[in-house]
A and B are shown apart, each in its own frame.
Chain A
Amino acid sequence: MKALSQKRRHPLAAVVLLAIALILTGGLYAVATASNQAQAASSTTYTASDIEEGQKLFVSNCATCHGLNAEGTVDGPSLVGVGAAAVDFQVGTGRMPMQMQGTQAQVKPRQFNDEQTHQLAAYVASLGAGPTVPEDEHLDVTKGDAANGAKVFLANCAMCHNAAGAGGALTRGKWAPTLMGVSEKHIYEAMETGPQNMPVFNDANITPEEKRDVITYLKAQEVNESPGGFKLGSLGPVSEGLLIWTLGLGIVIAFTIWLTSRSA
């Protein structure tokens, strides 16, 4: 005991203790969220308590704009029939609840954890049939075909999201966001629900397998470095032109000044 109390007084003791505490909390949190994710992904059916809890969350957080029974108001559309996938996408990416009314809901730190998102989805799904949260099988990029994904992506997505998924402009201040760093599940859900002004790509238009191929193509873009060097945002000729007028011309001018100046 004495030895322990002596050690406790060691100046590093506090640091060690803090580190242990942090690791423990972090580890526990990781385990907890992992189990939550597993739960959310594996369950295709929702329990009555999920729906009940979801309704409570809905009334206190979403009803101002979407109405007490999600029937919609002037500030927000009806959520009857949008399905669990729409909720999982909008809430899971932090777009909902919106910070303010604007041209478009923005990505921000998410307001609800996985369990709460799951409960909200359960409630909205109970209001009317709609797209469901995708199966793990359709998110597995090791099973996808990037070549087919590239075809589907270039025909249906690249016009708004750019060929490299870097995003692009829409009318009147709206925009198509970048697809880099978006999770497989959220890409899938965006295609099946058509959030904001994005068109809906239902399973008759782009089949679940094709959606997986698109995700595979995007993930291949994401995990691979550009062989040519820095990508300059993958924005095409504009960022290249900007670079030559700034860095390129800057280096050239520095050399011309040095070259024509008198040596000391």
Chain B
Amino acid sequence: MGNHRDSTEEVSSVAVTSLEASKEKFPDPGLPPHSPRLTDVDPKQNKKAERHVTLLFVISILGALLFWFAYFGIRVEGNFYDVTNPENNHLLRLQNLFLGLGIALSMFGIGIGIVHWARALMPDHEMVEMRHPVSSEESRAEAQDIMETIIDESGIKRRPLLRNTLIGSIILAPLTFVTLFRDLGPANPSLLKHTLWDQGVRLVRDPSGTPIKAADVTIGSAYHVLPENLQSLTHETGYVEEKAKAVVLLMRINPAELNISEDRKDWNVDGILAFSKVCTHVGCPIALYEQRTHHLLCPCHQSTFDAANECEVIFGPAAHPLPQLPIAVDEEGYLVAQSDFHEPVGPAYWERAKHVNEMAGEAN
């Protein structure tokens, strides 16, 4: 503070720009002096810290005991989530709690104890170590010489025939293993074209499998629907895969509120409409149906479709409408499909445009 009178006239009067200033730097004052801790100067505090560390290790031991108490002491027999007997859930929760707290205490005891030991009782003088360059020029030069000798002695540069055939074999050998990945799955995109739906296939309820009478679908209703012929499939013969494509949502809307194009006029039964439940964005089931707004919402990415308007996209990331399943009523009054979907269901894919054209050709 008081030294400023000693400063030269030049420094104080010349305008200092940052550029010039940056040429002048404060000297490094070195490490600050070390100040001792309480435990360094007061033997009482030192002893106290030692007692604390001991106590923490004892807590750790108690934590282990708590774990064994919970493991062997709490017995849970019977079922969980029983509506008449919540006791079992309670016991399992207690066991989980005490097992976990037991482990937590045994770990905390050791960890906090050791760290407290290090902080309070081990030397806390900061030490300085010098860094060394990762490598030196000489060692690099030497390594280069060695590498060149190796290459030279191997003769790989002088014998191009050897070199080239070696490169060729090294490239091809691993490819034999890569080839093995080919049979991970079939390479048959046209599998995606068709579902189990076909002319006359009954619509049945998911999960019960019972057929649906048109009269039972009242306005405002929503049915989760599967094709009846799905029931003939087993887990081994592709039940899940076919179900993943064939799921349909059925709802009835007052026909006056529908806005349907000419070629789909006969696809519904008095306002009963069936749409693929697989989102055209990335495939989540579109199962959220709002009966008053007729909106269908995907809970995964919030694509919203308007069921009254041929399921065109009105919000969100989906880029094309949900395919509609043409339906009719059979002689017993049950709902049946008129045909398969007229386009592939689910997310778009590279071959989709081709498939759409082919399916249009098949339909004619």
Contacts and interface: CB of A to CB of B under 8 A. Distances in A.
B120 interface: yes
A224 to B, nearest CB: 4
**Interface magnitude class on chain B:** 35 or more
B interface secondary structure, majority: mixed
A220 B89 CA distance: 11
Interface in A218-264: 219-221, 223-229, 258-259, 261-264
B53 interface: no
Nearest to A207: B208
A171 B221 contact: no
B97 A200 contact: no
B207 interface: yes
Given A155-B206, A221-B81, A205 B221 contact: yes
A202 B221 contact: yes
Contact of A170 (B90, B223, B290): B290
Interface stretch (B8-16, B147-155, B291-299): B291-299
B92 A227 contact: yes
Nearest to B49: A263
B288 A159 contact: yes
A204 B292 CA distance: 21
B96 interface: yes
A34 interface: no
A8 to B, nearest CB: 48
**Interface magnitude class on chain A:** 35 or more
A165 interface: no
A101 interface: no
Given A171-B297, A205-B221, A263-B119, A227 B83 contact: no
Interface of B: 37-39, 80-84, 86, 89-90, 92-93, 96-97, 115, 119-120, 124, 205-208, 212-213, 216-224, 251, 285, 287-293, 295, 297, 299, 304, 315
28 contacts: A142-B83, A144-B83, A152-B207, A155-B207, A159-B285, A159-B299, A170-B297, A171-B304, A174-B290, A197-B291, A197-B292, A200-B221, A204-B213, A204-B216, A216-B83, A220-B81, A220-B83, A223-B86, A224-B86, A225-B89, A225-B90, A225-B93, A226-B93, A229-B93, A229-B97, A262-B37, A262-B124, A264-B38
